[in-house]
Amino acid sequence: MSNDDPSTLARRRLLILGGLWATVLVVLIAFRSVVLPFAGAALIAYLLAPLVDRISQVKIRKRTIPRWVAIISIYVAFFFATYLFFLLVMPQLLGEIARISGDAAEFANQLTPENVRAYATRVEQWFAERGISVALSSRAPEGDGGLALSLDLEALMREGAHNVSAFLGENLGNIVNLTRQLVFGLLGGVFMLFLVLMVAAFISIDAAGIRVYIRSLIPPEYTSDVRKLVGRIDRSLSGVVRGQITICLVNGVLTFIGLVLLGVKFSFLLATLATLLSLVPIFGSIISSVPIVAIALSQGWKIGLLSLAWILGIHALEAYFLNPKIMGSAARIHPLIVAFSLIAGERTYGLVGALFAVPVAAVVVAVFDFLRLKAHGEEPVSGEW
CA torsion sign for 183, 189, 195, 197 is negative
Report DSSP state, residue 219: -
How buried is 138 (Cβ within 10 angstroms: 0-12 exposed, 13-18 middle, 19+ buried)? exposed
CA angle 95, 98, 104 (to 5 degrees): 145
Q: Which residues contact 35 (CB under 8 A, 6 or more apart)?
A: 28
Share of the chain above pLDDT 90, in %: 5
Name the pTM for this structure: 0.63
Report DSSP state, residue 349: H
pLDDT of residue 156: 63
43-57, 79-93, 259-273, 315-329: segment of lowest average pLDDT: 315-329
pLDDT of residue 146: 46
pLDDT tens-digit series, residues 249-297:
888 899 999 988 988 888 888 888 888 888 777 777 788 888 888 888 8
279 and 240 Cβ atoms separated by less than 8 Å: no
pLDDT of residue 337: 82
Question: Parallel, antiparallel, or unpaired: how do β-strands 63-64 and 59-60 relate?
Answer: antiparallel
pLDDT of residue 280: 77
pLDDT of residue 257: 92
Q: What is the mean pLDDT of the chain?
A: 77
- Rounded to 10 degrees, the C-alpha dihedral 111/114/120/126 comes to -120
Q: Pick the residue with more confidence: 24 or 349?
A: 24
| Helix, coil or strand: residue 59 | strand
d(CA 346, CA 189): 19
pLDDT of residue 30: 83
**Domain-by-domain residue ranges, the chain?**
1-30, 114-155, 221-385
Question: Parallel, antiparallel, or unpaired: how do β-strands 148-150 and 133-135 relate?
Answer: parallel
pLDDT winner (highest mean) among 34-38, 69-73, 161-165, 332-336: 69-73
d(CA 274, CA 291): 10
pLDDT tens-digit series, residues 10-34:
788 888 888 888 898 898 888 877 7
d(CA 56, CA 50): 10
pLDDT of residue 24: 86
Q: Pick the residue with more confidence: 6 or 192?
A: 192
52 and 204 Cβ atoms separated by less than 8 Å: yes
Q: Pick the residue with more confidence: 41 or 241?
A: 41
Whether the predicted pLDDT of 103 surpasses 80: no
Whether the predicted pLDDT of 137 surpasses 80: no
Q: Please report which helix (H) or strand (E) contains residue 148, including its range.
A: strand 148-150
CA nearest to 251, candidates 302, 301, 295, 287: 287
d(CA 224, CA 171): 63
Whether the predicted pLDDT of 1 surpasses 50: no
Whether the predicted pLDDT of 345 surpasses 60: yes
pLDDT tens-digit series, residues 204-243:
888 888 888 888 888 888 888 888 888 888 877 877 777 7
Cα-flanking dihedrals φ and ψ of residue 166, to 5°?
Answer: -65, -40
pLDDT of residue 134: 62
